Amino acid sequence: MTFSRRNKNCTYNFKQKRKRLFKKSIALLPNLFTLGNAFFGFCSIILSSRGDLITASYCILIAALMDALDGRLARLMGVDSALGVQLDSLSDAVSFCMAPAFLIYFWQLKKMGFLGLIVSSIFLLAGLWRLAKFNILHDVQTKFFLGVPTTIAACFLATLYLNFIHVDQNFYFLFFISILVLFLAFLMVSSLRFPTFKQQLFKVKRTWYVALFIVVFSFLAVLQIYRVLLIFFLLYFLFSILISVFNFKFMQEKGEHE
């Protein structure tokens, strides 16, 4: 009897340890995606410095995919942790602040010398400021982000490069890119509201409209993904700015009537 009880206890303890080990392994899965985000960001930096800007741009897009998956996996598995939050922020600093700053510098801004270095560093510093602000205010940013996310800004620059590789890159184009980079930096540190898409903004009565849009968008994305993404980001910026402007005017008018 004693031996049988000991055997049962050992079996039970082994099963408990195996369950704990399995839970710990599952909890590490989202963090592996987060580290994958940082890895592709680092690869993008190295490739940009070597002149392989096309692959560097795709590395930023893959890093964004990793960033989109890690949080969803953590919430799906119920393994959210403070370590994961901090690790995600540090990875974003590499992939969506440093990597796009390198990309845009080696593509265009290095032609401007020291001024180009300043412009690209402004994008980097604005991205770091944006991440720090998000870490403090992430609890209140459920429906709208305050300032454009660094992921969106970085992916926009990556798709911009992929769409304008063969464009005649004269002085006017260089000036346009410089202003655009500064404008993105401003959007990141601003208080303009950008949809998070975590909650439904508008009620759609017929779901087949949404399904049709997803099918068409997916089909176009397979054909020319970087062009579709560029259009999507432009519409996202325009839609978000219009929301912020009209809402601000509405609040002003409401205050005056009161």
User: Which pLDDT belongs to residue 79?
Assistant: 61
The answer to whether residue 20 scores a pLDDT higher than 60 is no
Residue 108 lies in a domain: yes
Residue 137 lies in a domain: yes
Residue 136 lies in a domain: yes
Residue 220 lies in a domain: no
Residue 207 lies in a domain: no
> What CATH number did the domain enclosing 95 receive?
1.20.120.1760
Residue 84: domain span: 30-202
Q: 131 and 97 in contact (C-beta within 8 Å)?
A: yes
Residue 6 lies in a domain: no
Task: For residue range 92-120, list pLDDT tens digits in order.
Answer: 999 999 999 999 999 999 999 999 999 99
User: Which pLDDT belongs to residue 258?
Assistant: 40
The answer to whether residue 6 scores a pLDDT higher than 80 is no
Task: For residue range 185-229, list pLDDT tens digits in order.
Answer: 999 998 887 777 655 444 444 455 555 555 555 555 555 677 777
Task: For residue range 135-144, list pLDDT tens digits in order.
Answer: 787 665 667 7
User: Which pLDDT belongs to residue 22?
Assistant: 46
- Number of structural domains the chain divides into: 1
The answer to whether residue 126 scores a pLDDT higher than 50 is yes
Residue 51 lies in a domain: yes
pTM: 0.74
The 3-state secondary structure of the chain reads: CHHHHHHHHHHHHHHHHHHHHHHHHHHHHHHHHHHHHHHHHHHHHHHHHHCCHHHHHHHHHHHHHHHHHHHHHHHHHCCCCHHHHHHHHHHHHHHHHHHHHHHHHHHCHHHHCHHHHHHHHHHHHHHHHHHHHHHHHCCCCCCEEECCCHHHHHHHHHHHHHHCCCCCCCHHHHHHHHHHHHHHHHHHHCCCEEECCCCCCCCCCCHHHHHHHHHHHHHHHHHCHHHHHHHHHHHHHHHHHHHHHHHHHHHHHHHHHC
Residue 9 lies in a domain: no
